[in-house]
Structure 1
């Protein structure tokens, strides 16, 4: 039995949380147990999922609430008290190296750093020299460096990393419960005759949600029987709400906040809009394609998000008119079958079995220093 200690911001919401739980729940439970260090108390549902796979969780202060010395000390104490662990797997952005340093001091030879997302130039104000130092430290203390996208690996490690795609258990998204979908549409007053668009993700920063809203306003001018479903929260939430009211779109745009109904939203959507300035590997984008939803994306979205099933449509210019033209063109295409989607996942090895096997090899056979 191998024991893996996972370090992650939180498990309650977001793409990284989904990645972490997908890995843990898909691994061979007879051979692997996962414990978690988190900065936020898991909710009841997540606690039940952790207990189901026989794991434990430990809540520590995030780095901004403590000092690097105390942070490392806390992780070392968790390892000593609850170990031994065979590997540590850290998902904590530029500061992956701190938990890996703690693991090295406690003689954990397999130390995996995992890069997600992408750099937000508006948020990072410190010098490039500072971030170059963090990249060096991440490379120094991680014995295995993983990225879900090229831009993610370059930002966290600089170089010397391996690409492993995020994955989803596609069976969950190919199975449709008609009664649940009917209830969801009835509850939210969603007409079946409408063309449904969706935006799923953080409402702010690099996700560029206001572009999606302005694009949808233009769509409405020609096709009034359209609806935009927005799932997510963020600093732009109030601005989005005000824009909706100012343009009298209250009956055409529905905001769900952070919701557990993403599957239902995707099952009834025809088109996902992702106008991100920059993106890593998006779980929402994978979920959408697996659900058979056409995805219109910006050039800031890496092509590694494409599952090669004919549902990934990249618009090189971030202008409303160009996106309108692409949406019209995509509407003319034939619907992609579930069989074709599954074959595509397996062919490019984005399916669960292929990806989990790579992690099991890392946890078991990585050469120690």
Structure 2
């Protein structure tokens, strides 16, 4: 089949869009080849693209003014419904593609939590990518994720979320990327990601979070490499949070938070300074500032603080060091004393034995 220059331009543009929207090509081989145009048999308002190397059907319904989920091809694997006017999802919205769909793009619609059936995503056990970005979801329900065992990418950015239920993600243990950025979340349950041991990227930026709970990152310490916490209301970071246990962490964003730089942050300052080579973000211009002094977190040192407990620790450390030096210097004398004591005890024992023999 021969393509005109215009056809090739359209194909390249579509594939570029798909790649940058992180939907189709995230779950299709990166060397998928040219997506070939085909006709959507069940809905002529959408465009269908068959990606030959992936053997997958991509249905593009972007910006079609749709108010409902359209009739779908039975072998649809990738579905793009963004930029429409869809207001509700019922239990049969995706029933035709429940066995095949891998990625589902629903961003920029008019969905509200109350109009999404608890069975809207029922049976989508092959789904790996789900985006509900820029809808009106004041809350998310646990039951939505009941069948999403294969889900790896979840985008809930700009959804007006205020609260997150403690066990909302427990049914999706395969999650690698969770984006909860640009919401109105004020607090985070400490066990929110307790079942997600494979998380690689966690986005919590642009919320109203003031405190990150203790042990919040414990379960993800072996996998998480990117943690976005910028543009929140965080004033301090406690060592009990578990940042120091994230051995694969290379990208940490904390800028635009009103940090109170005091003795509570001494551990964090030491930790970041000892791990500067690990962090890509430290070389960037976006550095977290102290709200109570004209310095960045990365530029602080112990001399900027007057923590009594620090000096007690220093004094104790110096005292222990002095005692160890004295012990080392006196070690020959101590050995000699011990040797003399052993010999004296041996001599007394011999005398006692001799006296007993004489009496016998």
TM-score normalised by the chain length of structure 2: 0.30
Larger fraction in helix: 1
Considering only CA atoms, is the larger Rg found in Structure 1 or Structure 2?
Answer: 2
Report which structure shows greater RCO (CA 8 Å, sep ≥6).
1
Larger fraction in strand: 1
TM-score normalised by the chain length of structure 1: 0.30
